[in-house]
Structure formats: C-alpha cells, structure tokens
Amino acid sequence: MDQQEAANRIAYLVKELDRQNYNYYVLNIQEIDDYAFDQMMAELIGLEKAFPEFSTPASPSQRVGSDLNQEFQQVAHKYQMLSLSNTYSEEEVMEFDQRVRKLTDEDFEYVCELKFDGTSVSLTYENGLLVRAVTRGDGQKGDDVTANVKTIKSIPLQLKGDYPPEFEIRGEILLPFNEFDRLNRERDEIGEQPFANVRNAASGTLKLQNSSVVASRKLDAYLYYVLGNNLPDDGHLELLKHAATWGFKISEHTRKCHNLQEIFEYLHEWNIKRKDLPVATDGVVIKINSTRLQQELGFTAKSPRWAIAYKFKAEQESTTLISVSYQVGRTGAVTPVANLEPVLLSGTVVRRATLHNADNIQSLDLHEGDVVFIEKGGEIIPKIIRVDLSERHPMTKRIEFITHCPECNTLLVRQEGESAWYCPNDAGCPPQIKGKLEHFIGRKSMNIDGMGSETIDLFFQKNLIRNIADLYDLQKSQLISLDRLGEKSVNRIFESLEISKSVPFERVLFALGIRFVGETVARKLARELKSIGRIGSASLEELTGVDEIGSKIAESIISWFNKEQNRTLIDRLRNHHLNFEIVSAEKEGATEKLKGLSIIISGTFKKFTRDEIKAFIELNGGKNVTSLSPKTTYLVAGENIGPSKLEKAQKLKIPIITEEELVELTN
C-alpha cells in the first residue's frame, strides 16, 4: 500500500468509526456487530503505526488508551466551576424562586434537568478538536485528565456541524449500572474488593494513571452546560440543542418550565421515572434559561444565584436481616456486614449493608431476623437506618459483636480511643497475612508484576508463603507444577521479583505495611532518617520530630519494630538485597540551601512539572507546605495562579517568586 492509498484508507476508517461510535453511544443505534467494529479499529491502528504521518489527535484509535503511567497536572479553570446549593423540599424551591425575582424585574424561564450522579468535568474545544479535559477540583483549578477522557466513546474528539471556534462544555462522567455490575462480577471472580458505588467507581476510574484501564471500564458522559464567547444562542436549553448537533450526548429529558407548577410536575415525574434510567441520578438541577441573565445575577462565594439542585430523598426499602458476618482486613480491623434478603434499591439489588463497627450494631439494637429499613447514604452506600420493631418476634436473640477472630479464633482487642476491634494475630491470621502480601506486591509498593490476589491465595493455600520475605525464597520448580501457572507466567514473576530489589527505600518502607505509614509518611521517614536501622531504633521524640509524624504514627512504628518477628523479617529481606537505606544516587545533587524554608507552589509552570519543583525543594532541604500561613517563607507562583491565593500571600507579606528565582536560591 502506497502513501496515498494509506491516507485514503485511514481517512475512510476514521470517518466510519466515528460514525459508528456516535450512532451506538449517543443515538443508541447499532449498525454493525462488535467483531466488525474491532476489525476496523485494528486495521486503523495498524495503518497509523505504519504511516504515523497520517495519525491525528482526533483519531478513534486514541480511545484505546495507553498503558503508560501518567501524572496529572493541575490546570486553572477559565470559568469558575462552582458547586450548586442543595435543596430538599418544594418550599425551598419556592424560596429560591422568590430570591431570584427580588434580583431582577425581567420575565424568565427555567430549565429542569436531571442531576447525574458521577464526577464533573469541563471540556475545552478549539476549532472542533478536544484539547483539554479538567476535573472540578477546588472550583478554581482541577486535574488535566484529557488522555483518560479521550477513551470515553460518547465524548467527541472531533466535532461536526457549525460549532464555535472555541468554547467549554461541562458534564458528568458516569459509570452505567450494567458496567458497574459487570466490573464487580469480574473483581469478585479474581478475589478483588468490589466497588462500593457507581459514583466512586466513576471518579476513581477517571483518575487512574493507566488510560488503557480507563478505556476498559466503559465510562459514559452526559453534557449539560456550554460556556464561551460568540455562542449561537442566549438560551441554555437552546445551546444544549446546538451541542447535540455538534456530536455531544445531551439528556433528552431536559425540559423548559415556565412556572413553579411545571417545575413541581417535573420533580414528581422524575422522582419515580429515574429508577428506570441506566445511570444514577440523585436529583434535579433547576436553572434560569437565559445565559445573559445568569451572568447578570452572578455568584455567591460558593454557588451561582441562578441555579439550585433539588435532591431527591434517599430511597428506602425494608428487608429481612439474615445474618451478620465479619471481615478481617490487612491491619486486623474486624468489620461487621449485614447479610440481607435481596432487595431492589435505587436501581441495584442490595444483598449486604455496612454496619461499620460494634457501636453501630449496639445503637441499632439489632436482633436475629429483624425487618430493617435500608437506604443508600447520598444514594451510594447501603446502610441500615432503623429496625421495624413492630415486626420483631419477642423470642429473637440480640446480635452481639464477636469476641474472637472469625478466621483464626484469636481474642479480639480494642485500642483506647478507637471504635474498631482488632485481631492481634497479625502473623498467623490468614486474611491479614494475605492482605499484607497483596499490599507488598502492589503497584505503589514493590510493583511485582504477574501476581495478584488470586496468585497470593494459591501460594498461601499451597503453604509456599506465610510472609513477604517468603516471596524471595520461592523456587521456579515449586511454581511450574501449579495449576493456572505456565512457564511464561512463572518467569515473569521471578523477573519482577528481581527487578523489585531496585525499588527505592521509601517505597520498600511503605510496602512493609506498618499501620498508619502511608506513601507520604514513608517518604518523609526515609528522607529524614535515611535507613531502616535508624527508623527502627528511633525514640518517640525522634520520630515525632519528623515533619507530619504525630505520636499515633510514631507509637505504631515503635510497636512494629518491637516485635521480633518483624525484625527477623527485615533481616531476611536485607539478605535478599532490598533497599533499606537512601543510597547516594538517590540524593545526587542534594544541598541544604533551602533548609528551614517552608515553600508553597501554585499555578502551572513552563520549565518544570509541579512534582519536579516539589522534589527540587526537598532535595535542597526545603519543606513543601500546602497552605499559606505567616510561617510560609516563599510562594512560587506559576501561570494561572488563583487570585485569592495571591491576595492572601500579599496580605501576609510572603515573598512571591518564580520557578527561575527558586533555582537561583540554591546557586
């Protein structure tokens, strides 16, 4: 195939795949089967690799995603992305209407639209191309998630029709119920913890570092607000209708309302009909239709004056409590779970509900076989809210929290000031052992490829491993004969174990799974005390002298190192050549020229990423802080810095410097 033939074929495939995506994900029309679509996509990807000069950012191949990790940069919003004020009654809607009418003498119309329950995003288009996707963040700035958003097939990469040269459109990223159920079935099959709810699953997916995983999750999106100059209409609903012709997925249920009675009719209608929708909703947004009047009415400090969110009352259902079971986590915390007769609640079948802890069981006064009312807190997590005492049999037995671990029968303990009960048998309790192993091999820890919870369970059942050091004592001959593990998989595991020996000390420290020692704490400890020996022998005063280490964390560290089994574990891992100190290569170029300085960075930068600037500050002995105070030494200001932060810095008389001036401080 010559260049011209390739260019023609690529152009055809791009156009046809875009058309099929739009038909299926926006119009809900399927013209060809999945196999035919996949064959066309595979052909396009192959041609673009062979002829990269014809590949464009708007190609449908961009939706496949990349398996390369990425770091999200923060981007300032051109228009503030504020949240809406909530209301829960028709009386409050009437009060909102009265407030608006006091602010204007104009006649106006309202628009009512469903409030989708996902995660908000703002999309910027220039000359018909998607150039940026940013999360809400703090309203002033958010994370750039463009690569991940490109994988969502209901979001157009290239617009069609007569669109403005530049504009923003905002919407909600969602995980449909059927995809949520599919993902949870898959996670259950491989022994991973199911997602708790669709909102968190959507939000968490959008912030994944691996866009190919995002693509596999099949997120959806509804767009609901257009902003910009030289827009084709003043009406909000009319702009949405224009946006639909440009290729956006717009809810067909958005409706113009001329008075309060029509608004209330819409609220009543969708309080019932929303249960049949394929995605989660938790209310209705009521907006003034005229965008000109919206601008005139303006904003309060937190929300627009021209819109309000009416939240539906959380749906409740009654069902029967079958039993209470208990789960043991990696740290030994024992969590009670209510097992229920299946009941349909907010579009999903609920079989279990959280009971949090022993105090929650006691406050509910739960008895065996109780009829209980459940709801989804904020339409998300199922929980028992009360018991129907009129249905309780007088001879039923009260449910008492267990006294011994359900897995290893060890007497549970409860630490002063904590609500949870713990199994102290961390070296012999199976779920704790397996939980620690899964934490150790995780991506943010040792990143041991080829192993997951299912593999860990297999090795545990075969009595090959009982702690993290056992991983490095494994022999290929032990694994080759195991079911589900071929020679290729075994080789990958051992290659990854060998590579893990070069993981930096701070991640090894985090991987040990010491209670309360997360990524940030591990990094602070490693960089301040520099070796496992110094950390293990440090006093309470030395540990609390490290930035962000309080007495609770320090006591947990001391307790961990006081156990002989953990000191033996360190010795075994050291014999396998894991990094247990900051090696000189990691600190090359380090100085103490910023020692004693508290520095905050804000905005976007040209020469360095935010993480690079933070690393530079720490490398030279400085301290990164996250908020302005009289103790802040410098504010390093990039582009698009929030005006409120600048104003506060000036008020506190904090010197404002550029990234170049920061570097000069170390020269």
- Rounded mean pLDDT, 315-320: 88
For 201, the token pair is 């699953």
Alpha-carbon distance of 542 to 554, in angstroms, equals: 9
Which domains does the chain carry? Answer: 3-64 (1.10.287.610), 76-311 (3.30.470.30), 315-424 (2.40.50.140), 430-500 (1.10.150.20), 505-586 (1.10.150.20), 598-664 (3.40.50.10190)
Alpha-carbon distance of 492 to 393, in angstroms, equals: 58
pLDDT for residue 207: 83
**In contact, 387 and 298? CB cutoff 8 Å:** no
Alpha-carbon distance of 619 to 6, in angstroms, equals: 50
Could you report the per-residue pLDDT of 74-93, keeping only the tens digit for each? Answer: 888 988 888 888 888 899 99
Alpha-carbon distance of 328 to 454, in angstroms, equals: 17
pLDDT above 50: residue 190: no
Closest to 140 measured CA to CA, from 641, 653, 667:
641
pLDDT for residue 446: 92
For 539, the token pair is 């006093």
Contacts 24+ apart (CB under 8 A), 433-438: 433/460, 433/466, 433/467, 434/460, 435/329, 435/330, 435/331, 436/330, 436/467, 436/468, 436/513, 437/465, 437/467, 437/468, 437/471, 438/330
Closest to 472 measured CA to CA, from 503, 449, 443, 493:
493
Alpha-carbon distance of 568 to 469, in angstroms, equals: 10
Could you report the per-residue pLDDT of 594-645, keeping only the tens digit for each? Answer: 988 999 988 877 777 776 788 788 888 888 887 788 889 999 998 878 777 7
Q: Amino acid identity, residue 79?
A: Y
Alpha-carbon distance of 287 to 118, in angstroms, equals: 19
Alpha-carbon distance of 538 to 557, in angstroms, equals: 9
Alpha-carbon distance of 473 to 325, in angstroms, equals: 35
Alpha-carbon distance of 18 to 285, in angstroms, equals: 31
Using alpha carbons, list the distances in angstroms from residue 179 to 23, 60, 413. 19, 21, 40
Q: Which of 15, 102, 115, 249 is catalytic?
A: 115
pLDDT for residue 235: 95
Residues forming a β-bridge with 299? 304
Task: Render 290-321 in DSSP notation, one character per residue.
Answer: BHHHHHHH-B-SSSBTTEEEEEPPPPEEEEEE
Q: Amino acid identity, residue 253?
A: H
pLDDT above 50: residue 191: no
**In contact, 577 and 502? CB cutoff 8 Å:** no
pLDDT for residue 193: 56
Closest to 427 measured CA to CA, from 402, 408, 406, 451:
408
Q: How buried is residue 137: exposed, middle or buried, by Cβ count under 10 Å (0-12/13-18/19+)?
A: middle
Q: What is the dihedral of CA 150, 151, 153, 156, to 10 degrees?
A: 10
Give the residue with greater pLDDT, 275 vs 566: 566
pLDDT above 50: residue 67: no
pLDDT above 70: residue 582: yes
Q: CB count, 10 Å around CB of 236? A: 25
Alpha-carbon distance of 235 to 96, in angstroms, equals: 20
Residue 620: DSSP 8-state: T
pLDDT for residue 449: 85
pLDDT for residue 36: 67
Question: Quick check: is 376 catalytic?
Answer: no
pLDDT for residue 210: 74
**In contact, 491 and 477? CB cutoff 8 Å:** no
In our burial notation (b when 16+ CB lie closer than 10 A, e otherwise), range 147-176 reads bbbbbbbbbbbbbeeebbeebbbbbbbbbb
Residue 390 is inside which H or E element, if any?
A: none
Sorting pLDDT into bands at 50, 70 and 90, what band is 239? very high
**In contact, 42 and 13? CB cutoff 8 Å:** no
Dihedral sign for Cα 29, 33, 34, 37, please.
negative
pLDDT for residue 265: 97
pLDDT for residue 209: 74
Say how many CA atoms lie within 13 Å of 495 toward its Cβ: 8
pLDDT for residue 194: 62
| Mean pLDDT over the full length of the chain | 87
pLDDT for residue 66: 47
For 338, the token pair is 């209510």
pLDDT for residue 35: 55
Sorting pLDDT into bands at 50, 70 and 90, what band is 203? confident
pTM given for the model: 0.51
Alpha-carbon distance of 315 to 279, in angstroms, equals: 16
Alpha-carbon distance of 5 to 474, in angstroms, equals: 54
For 257, the token pair is 């309302």
Closest to 375 measured CA to CA, from 366, 367, 384:
384
Using alpha carbons, list the distances in angstroms from residue 394 to 391, 398, 571. 9, 11, 59
